[in-house]
């Protein structure tokens, strides 16, 4: 109980959203936590009124005031708005850490029951392929930029270690595909390895993402905290929730430097809306993450115990769970009835679930001193040279012919080093003829070793090549502090 | 039995490779299939002799002759060779289809036993992020290009449908992240939807990749054939093998237009090498895919039955399986003993496993007429305009200031449309200040609607901007046949 009520923005959302949100609000009130809810709108109705973001100005203003959001799922109606309002909210407030606990629950039948699965997936929420920067290179060749930054990596990896520390968790697993993507996923892995030294009491391990998926199927109880890049995290967090009962039991928190947003993972399930049948557990568990975030750990623990007791008893069972357990769907508990049972169980302790030191996500990590500095002065202090350029060309010309033509166009400052097709070198000729897709990458490098290639030389090259080939994309080849900032082609 | 022996290249490989390969060869011989094996070298010893590819010329020549390879795992010793010889082999012969069956086996204890899991993951094996094209944009911002082509997508999707057809399978599921990556993953999804019309007897469905991972954990028996892009496929094929007993039971085939390579998914497991203890099942199952590929379906079925009978009996059990079943590890079967049991069981039928119409992968798909044509003439026939350009700039300048500076540099032909940071618009200013990572993307578009921006105009822009900002990357903005070939920024 607090003297001063917490101010929290609540967005009931679409479909079943208002019902699950109301359930969580009733339980929080019954547990004695005083909240001054600022109810705000977002989603389907907002889009239909012509706001293409789905998130009105008033709602944004409320979140800027309260900095904490409890929300139901939002719909993006077909034909209104291009981007999901759920995603827009996360982007607007730069909630860079998507935290998805996956924990075995009593009374929820799964194939892994009794193994003690209790992990937290910490997913980077801003960058990677989700920056959504796509360019058609030719009419039949599409490209998306996967962007991984040291700063973005440092923030999420620190978040994961701080989370582990605050909860007394023993291990953080970093999941990447660094063996294939040495610069992008490799940057994430290297950042993890460097930061792990600051957390000597926590076991730090790195696993390749496909092995993580394999191990999650074979022995998920081995995982504790898992930190990973955006797409990897999207896939394995959904996998993890599938191991412990599905989306009806999957909470999430999105944490930024300023704002945190708590929501169930599931959608708006319109066919169940207004019928008082939906299982509110996911949103209730999300609200516990919220309570811990605002400093109400004791109340969160009390409510969590009541939820566990209710699931353990198996007396009030919602339809979805009755279906899974082969129980009586006709007489399943309503959303309201299930909520009432949890409230009635406040103060009880579950019999079968061991007590944990902490649960859910912590308050925003205690702003640790950054390991790296970032900025123009830091960039300027690092030796940097531009040693060449990659040009991407639409061309169906045979590699040898393209190579000879491009050699002739290279000019005085540059020389053609190689041509590749989908990453595999095709010139100088290797004798193999990989399938052409009409896009070649030609790499030109400075004729003189260690020469810095100028913008004027690149512009002149592009214009010369452009007379003969349609180019679509130019990448400088950088060397930073003596390290090549580009990869070789397969076979180079 | 065939009159003419099959010529097949066999690469025993490293670690346990020779033992598992020998096991499969013995069984094939015992089943009466005449093979003229061309034994060839690749892997650790080859690297150590100074061949940086790990795949010698003689081996390549043998594969060009035989076009079929059975191989053990290859090691890439640390300090020799940059690229895995396993990957090099797949790339050299452009085996674009990676086929990974995951099937419940009798006697192999898993949490999903008895549910009838029997799926095949068909993974695109050439493009996507695995083209490995990476460029540091700044010292702290890494980029990898995700490349998806219509031609590459058509080939793998057709392969999956032809596989389903040849095996009498009812459903093909396409797994993408098209909701986020509308151009790249979207191209794969659209290609799937268009091709599915040619296979009316097969149910075609599309699921988002994270949902596929979730559903595989919850109800894997729902999947039949799953076709997907390279990284997605890497993750879910390892997940699928985790559901049915792990890598000891995971076969694979890599199919190209000319060459097919069959191998177990597991590595060389050096600590078990030469001890006659390794479980050869994965390689044996891979060899069955090979036999079907060369037209020996009947022999493959006989051997498959013998493997199933041996696993079902549980009399000859290798160490790994004894460990899983809590059996007697001391008296576990040797690799040789397990192989002997399979040979002794040739001709028997398993009691508990229902007979399938077909199994494993088919012969190379019967070259279906391509739906699309590709080439310079086709490209030229499509209306194409360059309507602008994205410049990626290293800059820590505040967005408003950068915007005003770039407006002034845009020139007569172009105008600054927006600036984004990691895909989120920051100029024109939205009032929000996302975290800067020192890389901005500035989008310039033609001042006059429908104007085609020339290379000269772009080069002039790049030089003007380059006086003030360090640029790293240039992308043309294309419109093909009236469709924008680029995405908008978040918030644009």
pLDDT at A132: 87
Please list every residue in chain B whose beta carbon sits closer than 8 Å to the beta carbon of residue A92. Answer: 432, 491
As a whole number of angstroms, the distance between CA B335 and CA B339 comes to: 6
CB within 8 Å: B242 and A490? no
Residue from the list A88, A131, A239 with its beta carbon closest to the beta carbon of B422: A131
Q: What is the pTM of this model?
A: 0.95
pLDDT at B3: 63
CB within 8 Å: A475 and B473? yes
CB within 8 Å: B91 and A239? no
Residues of B involved in catalysis:
130, 177, 210, 234
Contacts of A219 (CB under 8 A, 6+ apart): none
The three-class DSSP label of residue A222 is: helix
Mutation pick from A129, A207, A393, A481 vs chain B, by most beta carbons of B within 10 Å, is: A129
The three-class DSSP label of residue A254 is: strand
Q: Which of residues 250-289 of A touch B (CB under 8 A)?
A: 257
Q: Which of A51, A118, A159, A177 is catalytic?
A: A177
Query: In the A/B pair of chains, how many CB contacts fall below 8 A?
Result: 367
Residue from the list A82, A96, A134 with its beta carbon closest to the beta carbon of B183: A134
B422 touches chain A (CB under 8 A): yes
CB within 8 Å: A140 and B231? no
For residue A169, report the phi and psi dihedrals to the nearest 5 degrees.
-85, 150
Quote the ipTM score: 0.94
For residue B421, report the phi and psi dihedrals to the nearest 5 degrees.
-125, 120
| Residue closest to A71 by CA, chosen among A49, A55, A50 | A55
Give A128's DSSP letter: B
pLDDT at A330: 87
Asked if residues A174 and A205 have their Cβ atoms less than 8 Å apart, the reply is yes
Residue from the list A134, A422, A466 with its beta carbon closest to the beta carbon of B127: A422
Q: Which of residues 209-248 of A touch B (CB under 8 A)?
A: 209-211, 213-218, 231-232, 234-243, 246-247
Please list every residue in chain A whose beta carbon sits closer than 8 Å to the beta carbon of residue B53. Answer: 491
Q: Which of A130, A159, A199, A255 is catalytic?
A: A130
Q: What would the pLDDT profile of B57-110 be if each residue is shown by its tens digit?
A: 999 999 999 999 999 999 988 777 667 888 889 888 999 999 999 999 999 999
pLDDT at B429: 87
pLDDT at A368: 61
Residue from the list A144, A213, A487 with its beta carbon closest to the beta carbon of B183: A144
What is the pLDDT tens value at each position of chain A, 492 positions in all? 446 899 999 999 999 999 999 999 999 999 999 999 999 999 999 999 988 889 999 999 999 999 999 999 999 887 776 678 888 898 889 999 999 999 999 999 999 999 999 999 999 999 999 988 999 999 999 999 999 999 999 999 999 999 999 889 999 999 999 999 999 999 999 999 999 999 999 999 999 999 999 999 999 999 999 999 999 999 999 999 999 999 999 999 999 999 999 999 999 999 999 999 999 999 999 999 999 999 999 999 999 999 999 999 999 999 999 988 888 888 899 999 999 999 999 999 999 887 765 554 454 455 566 788 899 898 889 999 999 999 999 999 999 999 999 999 999 999 999 999 999 999 998 777 789 999 999 999 999 877 899 999 999 999 999 999 999 999 999 999 999 999 998 877
Mutation pick from B75, B78, B423, B425 vs chain A, by most beta carbons of A within 10 Å, is: B423
CB within 8 Å: A490 and B376? no
The string over A455-488, giving b where at least 16 C-beta atoms fall within 10 Å of a residue's C-beta and e elsewhere, is bebbbbbbbebbeebbbbbbbbbbbbeeeebbbb
pLDDT at B270 over 80: yes
Q: Which of A58, A210, A258, A328 is catalytic?
A: A210
CA angle A89, A95, A98 (to 5 degrees): 105
How many CB atoms are closer than 10 A to CB B281? Answer: 27
CB within 8 Å: B213 and A236? yes
How many CB atoms are closer than 10 A to CB A181? Answer: 25
Please list every residue in chain B whose beta carbon sits closer than 8 Å to the beta carbon of residue A475. Answer: 135, 472-473
Residue A171 annotated to the active site: no
Q: What would the pLDDT profile of B123-181 be if each residue is shown by its tens digit?
A: 999 999 998 899 999 999 999 999 999 999 999 999 999 999 988 999 999 999 999 99
CB within 8 Å: A126 and B455? no
The three-class DSSP label of residue A486 is: strand
Residue from the list B134, B459, B486 with its beta carbon closest to the beta carbon of A486: B134
As a whole number of angstroms, the distance between CA B147 and CA B185 comes to: 9
As a whole number, the mean pLDDT across chain B is 93
Residue from the list A142, A240, A435 with its beta carbon closest to the beta carbon of B183: A142
Gap from B130 CA to chain A (nearest CA, Å):
7
Q: Which of residues 426-465 of B touch A (CB under 8 A)?
A: 432, 434-439, 441, 455-456, 458-459, 462-463
pLDDT at B360 over 90: no
Minimum CA–CA partner of A431 in chain B: B92
**pLDDT confidence of B339, banded at 50, 70, 90?**
very high
CB within 8 Å: A455 and B462? yes
Residue from the list A132, A149, A438 with its beta carbon closest to the beta carbon of B180: A132
pLDDT at B363: 45
B374 touches chain A (CB under 8 A): yes
- Structural tokens at position B379: 């490209």
Asked if residues B306 and B251 have their Cβ atoms less than 8 Å apart, the reply is no
Residue A140 annotated to the active site: no
CB within 8 Å: A214 and B239? yes
Bridge-partner residues for A147, per DSSP?
A128, B143
Q: Which of residues 44-103 of A touch B (CB under 8 A)?
A: 53, 82-83, 87-88, 91-94, 96
Contacts of B231 (CB under 8 A, 6+ apart): A177, A231, B128, B129, B130
pLDDT at B449: 80
Asked if residues A475 and A411 have their Cβ atoms less than 8 Å apart, the reply is no
Residue from the list B144, B152, B441 with its beta carbon closest to the beta carbon of A184: B144
A166 touches chain B (CB under 8 A): no
Please list every residue in chain A whose beta carbon sits closer than 8 Å to the beta carbon of residue B93. Answer: 432
């Amino acid at each position: 109980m607090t003297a001063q009520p917490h101010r929290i923005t609540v967005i009931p959302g679409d479909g079943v959203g208002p019902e699950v949100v109301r359930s969580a609000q009733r339980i929080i009130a019954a547990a004695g936590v005083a909240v001054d809810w600022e109810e705000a709108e977002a989603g389907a109705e907002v889009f239909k009124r012509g706001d293409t973001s789905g998130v009105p100005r008033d709602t944004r203003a409320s979140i800027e005031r309260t900095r904490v959001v409890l929300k139901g799922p939002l719909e993006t109606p077909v034909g209104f708005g291009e981007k999901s309002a759920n995603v827009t909210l996360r982007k607007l407030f730069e909630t860079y850490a998507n935290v998805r606990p996956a924990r075995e629950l009593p009374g929820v039948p799964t194939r892994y029951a009794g193994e003690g699965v209790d992990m937290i997936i910490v997913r980077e929420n801003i960058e990677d392929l989700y920056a959504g920067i796509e360019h058609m290179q030719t009419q039949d060749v599409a490209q998306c930029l996967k962007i991984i930054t040291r700063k973005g990596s440092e923030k999420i990896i620190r978040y994961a270690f701080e989370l582990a520390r605050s909860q007394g968790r023993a291990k953080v697993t970093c999941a990447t595909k660094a063996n294939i993507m040495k610069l992008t996923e490799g940057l994430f892995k290297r950042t993890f390895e460097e930061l792990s030294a600051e957390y000597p009491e926590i076991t730090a391990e790195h696993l390749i993402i496909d092995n993580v998926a394999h191990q999650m199927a074979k022995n998920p109880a081995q995982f504790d905290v898992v930190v990973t890049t955006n797409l990897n995290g999207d896939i394995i967090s959904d996998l993890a929730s599938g191991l412990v009962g599905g989306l009806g039991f999957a909470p999430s928190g999105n944490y930024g430097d300023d704002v945190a947003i708590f929501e169930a993972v599931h959608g708006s399930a319109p066919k169940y809306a207004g019928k008082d049948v939906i299982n509110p557990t996911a949103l209730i568990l999300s609200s516990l993450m919220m309570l811990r975030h605002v400093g109400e750990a004791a109340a969160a623990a009390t409510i969590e115990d009541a939820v566990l007791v209710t699931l353990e008893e198996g007396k009030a069972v919602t339809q979805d769970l009755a279906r899974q357990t082969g129980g009586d769907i006709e007489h399943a508990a309503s959303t309201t009835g299930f909520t009432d049972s949890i409230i009635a169980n406040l103060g009880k302790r579950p019999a079968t679930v061991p007590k944990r030191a902490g649960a859910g996500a912590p308050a925003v990590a205690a702003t640790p001193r950054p390991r790296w500095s970032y900025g123009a002065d830091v960039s300027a202090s690092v030796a940097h040279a531009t040693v060449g350029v990659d040009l991407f060309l639409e061309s169906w010309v045979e590699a040898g012919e393209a190579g000879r033509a491009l050699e002739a166009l290279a000019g005085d400052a540059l020389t053609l080093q190689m041509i590749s097709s989908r990453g595999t070198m095709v010139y100088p000729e290797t004798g193999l003829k990989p399938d052409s897709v009409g896009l070649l990458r030609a790499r030109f490098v400075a004729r003189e070793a260690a020469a810095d290639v100028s913008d004027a030389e690149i512009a002149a090259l592009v214009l010369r090549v452009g007379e003969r080939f349609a180019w679509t994309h130019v990448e400088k080849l950088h060397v930073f502090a003596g390290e090549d900032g580009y990869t070789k082609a397969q076979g180079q």
